[in-house]
C-alpha cells in the first residue's frame, strides 16, 4: 500500500456553497495533512489521533453515500488511515515496564 494522497500544505476551504458532505471531505483531508505533518515532526501520538479522526469522518461519509465510486473512495481511504495507525502503533517506542 502506498502513501496516502494528502496535500502538504493547508488548503483554503472550498468556496460556498458547499454541501455538508463536501465540508466533511475537506475537513478529513485537512486532518490527514495534519497527521502527515505530525509524523514528520516526530509526534506519532498526534498523527494517530488525526488519522483516527479522519477515518471516522470518512466512514460516516461512506455510510450515507449512495454512489459506489464515492463510497469505495471513502471506505478505502478510511482503511488506509486505519492501517497507518496500526503501523504507527507497531513502531512506537514502548516504555520499559520492568521494575
51 burial (CB, 10 Å; 0-12 / 13-18 / 19+) is buried
CA nearest to 6, candidates 32, 24, 37, 26:
32
State which CATH number among 1.20.950.20, 3.40.50.1110, 1.20.58.80, 1.10.3720.10 fits the domain covering 20-91: 1.20.58.80
- pTM equals 0.78
Domain locations in the chain?
A: 20-91
Which tens digits make up the pLDDT trace of 11-56?
Answer: 666 667 888 999 999 999 999 999 999 999 999 999 999 999 999 9
Mean of the per-residue pLDDT values for the chain? 87
Q: For helices 68-91 and 20-40, what crossing angle results, to 10°?
A: 20
Amino acid at each position: 500500500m502506498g502513501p496516502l494522497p494528502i496535500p502538504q500544505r493547508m488548503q483554503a476551504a472550498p468556496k460556498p456553497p458547499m454541501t455538508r458532505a463536501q465540508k466533511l471531505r475537506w475537513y478529513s483531508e485537512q486532518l490527514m495533512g495534519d497527521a502527515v505533518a505530525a509524523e514528520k515532526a516526530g509526534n506519532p501520538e498526534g498523527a494517530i489521533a488525526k488519522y483516527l479522526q479522519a477515518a471516522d469522518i470518512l466512514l460516516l461519509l461512506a455510510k450515507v453515500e449512495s454512489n459506489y465510486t464515492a463510497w469505495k473512495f471513502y471506505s478505502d481511504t478510511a482503511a488506509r488511515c486505519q492501517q497507518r495507525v496500526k503501523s504507527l502503533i507497531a513502531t512506537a517506542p514502548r516504555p520499559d515496564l520492568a521494575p
